Structure 1
Amino acid sequence: MKDGSTKPIPAGDIYRHMWLTSSVAKAVGVDLGAARAEGTLAASDYSRMLTNCRNAGCDKSCALWLSQQNGPSSSVPEFCVNGALLTQLKR
């Protein structure tokens, strides 16, 4: 556990984090569905993205970042646990 506690923190709501993940991807110009269809994003990597997002604890910051986007963003927010993979998929 990050805080040294012995009680695990439950992961966030799967549907909320699916929306957050796909919304951040879309904001930076990544189509996760197309990446899956093309084979550039494996099912296991997509699953890992959702799990990482659910456990990151930054969903409020993420929702705020998304609400402030007025068009395509050139980069993933610094706090995003999926930033490296999204940047890779953007290429």
Structure 2
Amino acid sequence: MDGSPDRLGDLSRHFWLARSVARVMGLNLSECIARGKLTEDQYARMITRCRAGGCAVMCEAWLATQTSRCDKAPSHCAIAEDLNRLAK
């Protein structure tokens, strides 16, 4: 995972992918920040890892198949560990 700016995915795309995966898990990332479960810096790092993860197409396909709440982030997700921690 190369985090250089020229190798990162589109910021807007990954911002919404991260929020969408979180939402399927019953998480609202804005609320997590407001409640002190997630700092703004941690959130920014999560989005950067999502951008560098190379799994956007898999995440989009996973999201397209979700019809109910999931307890865990998909294993291919670059920020699965963070999302699973927040979901506890």
Fold shared per TM-score above 0.5? yes
Please give the TM-score of this superposition, normalised by the length of structure 1: 0.88
- Give RMSD over aligned pairs: 1.5
Match of 2:51 in 1: 54
The answer for unaligned runs of 5 or more in structure 2 is none
Match of 2:31 in 1: 34
Higher Cα Rg: structure 1 or 2? 1
Q: Distance in 1 between matches of 2:44 and 2:38?
A: 10
SS in 2 for 1:67: helix
Deviating above 3 A after TM superposition, structure 1's stretches of 4 or more consecutive aligned residues are none
Q: Distance in 2 between matches of 1:49 and 1:25?
A: 12
Q: Report how many aligned residue pairs link the two structures.
A: 86
Amino acid at match of 1:26: R
The answer for unaligned runs of 5 or more in structure 1 is 3-7
Quote how far apart the aligned CAs of 1:12 are: 0.5
Quote how far apart the aligned CAs of 1:9 are: 5.4
By percentage of residues, which structure has more helix? 2
Amino acid at match of 2:74: P
State yes or no: 1:70 paired with 2:63: no
Match of 1:12 in 2: 9
**Sequence identity (%):** 37
Q: Distance in 2 between matches of 1:58 and 1:87?
A: 17
